[in-house]
Amino acid sequence: MKDQTAKTGAEFSNLADSRRTPSNLAATGQPLTHYHSFFSELLSWKNPRKHLTACAIICMLDSANRTLVIGASGIAYASIVAVIFATRYLDIIRYLFKATWMILGFTVLVEVAGKTILGNGLTSQLRPHKYYTLSRETIDVAIGDVHELVNFFVIEAQRIFFAENIPASVAAAASAFISYYLVKIVPYWGLALLGTTVLFLAPLIYTSNQELIDHYVQEGSDMLNSQTEQLRQVASKHTSHATEITKQYMGDYTAKAQSMLHRGGSASPEPVSKPAPQTNIKETDFPEAPKQGFKSEEVGVKGVEEPLVA
């Protein structure tokens, strides 16, 4: 038991020491936080230990060695699951209030009883000579850790949104899509439990069956590339054929249009003669014209002489 405790303590020490700023940078050239290394170490299930006791907090079946393994990652997973179930089935806030009034009531009762019976309070005897305080260095370290943790989530959200890591962005999109439908039938604590399980067990399953999974992934990638290449060739062939047909039709239509324009410009317009209107009138319908000339008669005009007035 002491040996297992020592190994567990060593694993947690290694996990704490892994909080170093990684050497790789983001796509923008910015340095990452030390929590990137910490969570990568935590979720990778590195250095699992064999454990066969029944009182193990969490046990995972390793398909390669067919043994039960446990480590810091398993303890972290079990702790998160325990918190989720405690939040769901335990009224933690109510229990906190209950524990507070019971503890304070006990200390007050002991102090009053001691002063009444012994003349000296018992609780005051346990009072330290100096109250405990947090140093500025401790506060600065805590604030620095919180700052790094917040930046970890902010940076990762932006890396996923801008598709710096395409598999991670695809996984996030698939998770959001599935959660959109599961939230209608699964409570929030169930979604939290499911997400935590997938987050911790997916890397373990991959590392335990890495060769087999990589083999199938490579086969799927090769098949996808082959189908994509075939589609590209077929599309290129049909595109070139359609382009040739379009050019042929355009050439024919252009030649016909030029021919029509050439004939229309060279031809001179000819006058159109209108036929004389036909009537049913005959020459016999008119009287015969006289054949002899007209004789002129002299007409004399006699003037009337008027008497002159004397």
Averaged pLDDT, groups of 10, the chain, 310 residues long = 66 68 79 80 66 38 43 81 89 92 93 86 84 90 90 90 88 92 91 90 83 86 86 85 84 80 61 58 65 54 49
How far is Cα 142 from Cα 152, in angstroms, rounded to an integer?
15
Q: Residue 97 has what pLDDT? A: 95
Q: Strands, E, within the chain: which ranges?
A: 49-50, 60-62, 67-70
Evaluate whether 66 touches 45 at the Cβ level (below 8 Å): no
pTM of the model: 0.59
Radius of gyration of the chain measured on its C-alpha atoms: 54
SS3 20: coil
Q: Which of 41, 43, 26, 33 is nearest to 151 (CA)?
A: 33
How far is Cα 210 from Cα 213, in angstroms, rounded to an integer?
5
